[in-house]
Amino acid sequence: MDQPSPSLPGDDRPSTGSRELWGTRWGFVLAAVGSAVGLGNMWRFSYIAAEGGGAAFLMVYIVMVALIGIPLMLCELAVGRNTHLSPIGALRRLGGRGWVPLGFLFVAAGFLILSYYSVIAGWTFRYALEGIVFGFPSDPGAHFEGLASGGTAIGFHLVFMVLTIGIVMVGIQKGIERAALILMPTLFLIVLGLAIWAMTLEGAAEGYAFYLRPDVGELMNPTVIRQAAAQAFFSLSLGMGAMLTYASYLSRDTDLNEEAVTISFADFMVAFVAGMVVFPVIFALGLQDAVSESTVGALFISLPGAFQEMGGVGRFVGILFFVALAVGAITSALSLLEVVTSSIIDEFGFLRRNAAVAMGVLIALFGLLSAVSLDVLGLVDQVAGDLFLVLGALGLSIFVGWFMKVNPATELARGARPGLVRVIPAVLFLVRFVLPPVIAVVLLFSIRDAWDAFGAFFAGG
Ligand code: PFF
């Protein structure tokens, strides 16, 4: 097993042992943005925003990203870059054996999230492909029911996993970085193009009004605040070591502060602009009632229905929309599998190829449960995509704020521009005194919701 050189405060050697590094700055940034931008941005965000008070929700969300999301991302980046190790090893090195379970929680979250994320991604592949070959279905509701339970859901889930494994297997520069450099600009262009097109639709103004009407009453609603926090973690890929792992391939001269702001801003912009596509389309066709049925299904029912009714243009636009979703999903899945893969490489000395295949196959097998049952999918999402991330975020903020053996300020200052060095004390203040209590409160609600989800699952099943 290759151990990278130890890094203690003041140790600014550029050496990272034999660990592969990102080839370029943009390679890292786009890979990290690729992790962040995914299914969470394209639908979950606009749905929660519309339900949670429109522009008022956006304000709560922006505050959450700035006060909680960015500091937490800086924690992950600092731990990853300092140790050049995946989560389990990184926490062991900087915290001792007592912190290893937190690393395992991260790996478990990556494993579980990818297992159902890949199923949903499989649906997007299928819609994109069907759009190209046959057009969109005229009975989207029935179509979705067939799709979400039948054998084809398994097929597309497996195809998606094979692709993900294939890229992660190849490595950081030739696999993940290269994919991100091609796929992310493509995704930006598609989403931007779709938003410009959506402006021309007849229902656009009403759609924007529904999406962005400032319902100030929601500003103090605890559910909305909790949802904004959980959405920020999920959307920014925080609380499970994805950013930590990607940062472990960074060289010592990167400005982590600048990167954290860039990644968070890009993630927010894609979510925001995706909403500028979804709502005009839905309002142009009077499908707004479907939006209040919150399930993942709405994305796969109301939008394809709308594209179908729009004829030839709808078909073209719909294909682009689902291609963008699929692209977002795959770059996110890469980071999920990378967390698990790199941990197996670092902990057990596996070759990358073997680790990616072994773990990818196990995840694909576990995902079969979500492929055949929407109830299982919903439950795993609630437990791993919500509860585990919040728990992981809480653990990480306490670790970096209070227990880490190296001074996080030293790591954040390394490579930082003078202007940004000045904000580091404020970041540390947030990490120590604001994040733990705020995330702990969010955690209580997440536990309650997970508990309810378990109850509903077993009552229903
Ligand atoms: N950020 C992704 C999204 O918004 O769809 C989901 C995700 C990816 C969560 C990677 C966590 C993660 F580690």
Asked if 258 and 420 touch (Cβ cutoff 8 Å), the reply is yes
- Assigned domain for 449 exists: yes
Atom of ligand 1 nearest to the CA of 329: 5
Of all residues in the chain, what percent are helix, strand and coil, respectively (each to 5)?
A: 80, 0, 20
Rounded distance from Cα 14 to ligand 1 centre (Å):
30
Ligand 1 contacts CB of residue 335 (under 6 A): yes
Going by CA atoms, what residue is nearest to atom 13 of ligand 1? 237
122 in any annotated domain? yes
Instruction: Please determine, for residue 270, whether its predicted confidence score (pLDDT) is greater than 90.
Output: yes
CATH code assigned at 42: 1.20.1740
Note whether residue 223 is domain-resident: yes
Q: Are 118 and 325 in contact (CB under 8 A)?
A: no
pLDDT of residue 441: 94
Whether the per-residue pLDDT at 318 is higher than 90: the answer is yes
Q: Is the CB of 40 under 6 A from ligand 1?
A: yes
Question: 304 pLDDT exceeds 90?
Answer: no
Structure tokens at 225: 């605040």
Instruction: Give 105 Cα–ligand 1 centroid separation in angstroms.
Output: 16
Q: What is the DSSP string of 110-137?
A: HHHHHHHHHHHHHHHHHHHHHHHHT---
Q: Output the CA–CA distances (angstroms, integers) from residue 229 to 44, 224, 349, 377, in the order listed.
A: 13, 9, 36, 21
Residue pair 117/333 in contact (Cβ under 8 Å)? The answer is yes
Specify whether the CB–CB gap between 397 and 235 falls below 8 A: no
Residue 450 corresponds to which amino acid? A
39 in contact with ligand 1, CB cutoff 6 A:
yes
| Least confident range of 11-20, 264-273, 308-317, 411-420 | 11-20
pLDDT of residue 17: 59
180 pLDDT above the threshold of 70: yes
Quick one: average pLDDT of 306-311? 87
pLDDT of residue 8: 42
Question: Residue 303 Cα, ligand 1 centroid: separation in angstroms?
Answer: 22
Enclosing domain of residue 304: 18-460
Domain-embedded: residue 4? no
Per-residue model confidence (pLDDT) at position 151: 81
Burial group, residue 203, by CB count within 10 angstroms (0-12, 13-18, 19+):
buried
**Residue percentage of the chain with pLDDT more than 90:** 68
Q: What amino acid occupies position 273?
A: V
Measured N-to-C along each axis, helices 435-460 and 222-235 cross at an angle, to the nearest 10 degrees, of 90
Exposure letters 381-411 (e unless 16+ CB within 10 A, then b): bbbbbbbbbbbbbbbbbbbbbeebebebebb
Are 254 and 248 within 8 A, CB to CB?
Answer: no
CB 310 within 8 A of CB 317: yes
pLDDT: is 146 or 117 the higher one? 117
Rounded-to-integer distance, Cα 115 and Cα 368, Å:
8
CA 309 – CA 325 distance, rounded (Å): 20
| Residue in this structure with the two tokens 């819609």, named with its chain if needed | 127
- DSSP SS3 for 39: helix
Predicted confidence at residue 291, as pLDDT, reads 58
What secondary structure letter does DSSP report for 16? Answer: B
| CA–CA separation, 215 and 223 (whole Å) | 14
Q: Which residue has the higher pLDDT, 1 or 200?
A: 200
Tokens of 161: 């996993």
Contact 86, 345 (CB under 8 A): yes
Query: Which pLDDT belongs to residue 12?
Result: 40
Tell me which residue of 319, 328, 389, 368 sits closest to 43, measured CA to CA: 328
For residue 28, the surrounding DSSP H or E stretch is helix 25-36
Confidence category of residue 15, pLDDT binned at 50, 70, 90? very low
Ligand 1 centre to CA of 32 (Å) is 10
At 290, is the pLDDT very low, low, confident or very high (cuts 50, 70, 90)?
A: low
Count how many domains the chain has: 1
- The pLDDT tens digits of the residues spanning 386-400 come to 899 999 999 999 999
Residue nearest ligand 1's atom 7 by CA = 237
Average pLDDT over residues 307-314: 89
94 Cα: distance to centroid of ligand 1 (angstroms): 25
Tell me the C-alpha distance between 142 and 137, whole Å: 9
264 lines ligand 1 (CB under 6 A): no
For ligand 1, whether the C-beta of 240 sits within 6 Å is yes
Q: What is the b/e burial string over 74-94, where b = at least 16 CB atoms within 10 angstroms of the residue's CB? A: bbbbbbbbbbbbbbbbbbbbb
Beta-carbon neighbour count of residue 110 at 10 Å?
30
Distance between CA 347 and CA 88 in Å, rounded?
8
Stretch 372-390: mean pLDDT, rounded?
91
Terminal CA-CA length for the chain: 45
In angstroms, how far apart are the furthest CA atoms of the chain?
64
Q: Is the CB of 271 under 6 A from ligand 1?
A: no
Distance CA 108, CA 364 (A): 14
Our answer on whether the CB atom of 242 is closer than 6 Å to any ligand 1 atom is: yes
Residue 312 belongs to a domain: yes
**Minimum-distance ligand 1 atom for the alpha carbon of 242:** 13
332 lines ligand 1 (CB under 6 A): yes
Contact 196, 184 (CB under 8 A): no
**Tokens, residue 330:** 């795959």
The two three-digit tokens of residue 301, written as one number: 């029912």
Residue 9 inside a domain? The answer is no
Going by CA atoms, what residue is nearest to atom 11 of ligand 1?
237
Centroid of ligand 1 to alpha carbon of 418 (angstroms): 31
Residue 326: C-alpha distances to residues 79, 116, 242, 262 (Å): 30, 14, 19, 23
Q: How many angstroms separate the alpha carbon of residue 73 from the centre of ligand 1?
A: 13
Cα–Cα distance between 196 and 409 in angstroms, integer? 42
Binding site membership of 35 for ligand 1 (Cβ less than 6 Å): yes
336 Cβ inside 6 Å of ligand 1: yes
Residues 333-343: pLDDT tens digits? Answer: 999 999 999 99
Give the chain's mean pLDDT.
Answer: 90
Q: 12 in a domain, yes or no? A: no
Q: How confident is the model at residue 10 (pLDDT cuts 50, 70, 90)?
A: very low
Q: What separation in Å is there between the alpha carbon of 66 and the centre of ligand 1?
A: 18
Supply the pTM of this predicted model.
0.93
Alpha carbon of 387 to ligand 1 centroid (Å)? 14
The pLDDT tens digits for 350-370 are: 999 999 999 999 999 999 999
pLDDT above 70 covers a percentage of the chain that reads: 93
pLDDT band for 293, please (50, 70, 90 cuts): low
Is 124 close to ligand 1, i.e. is its CB under 6 Å away?
no
CA of 245 to the centre of ligand 1 (A): 13
Q: What pLDDT was estimated at residue 258? A: 95
Pick from 39, 46, 114, 237 the residue to mutate for probing ligand 1's pocket: most ligand atoms within 8 Å of its CB: 237
pLDDT at 11 > cutoff 70: no
SS3 (DSSP) at 12: coil
Of 17-26, 44-53, 94-103, 260-269, the least confident: 44-53
Instruction: Check pLDDT > 70 for residue 5.
Output: no
* pLDDT surpassing 70 at residue 302: yes
Say if residue 295's pLDDT is above 60: no
Residue 288 confidence (pLDDT): 67
33-85 per-position pLDDT tens digit: 999 999 998 877 877 887 787 888 888 999 999 999 999 999 999 999 999 99
Distance CA 372, CA 384 (A): 18
How is residue 11 written in tokens?
């140790």
Residue 13 lies in a domain: no
Give the Cα separation of 23 and 6 in Å (integer).
Answer: 22
Over 50: is that where the pLDDT of 161 sits? yes
Mean pLDDT, residues 266-288 taken together = 87
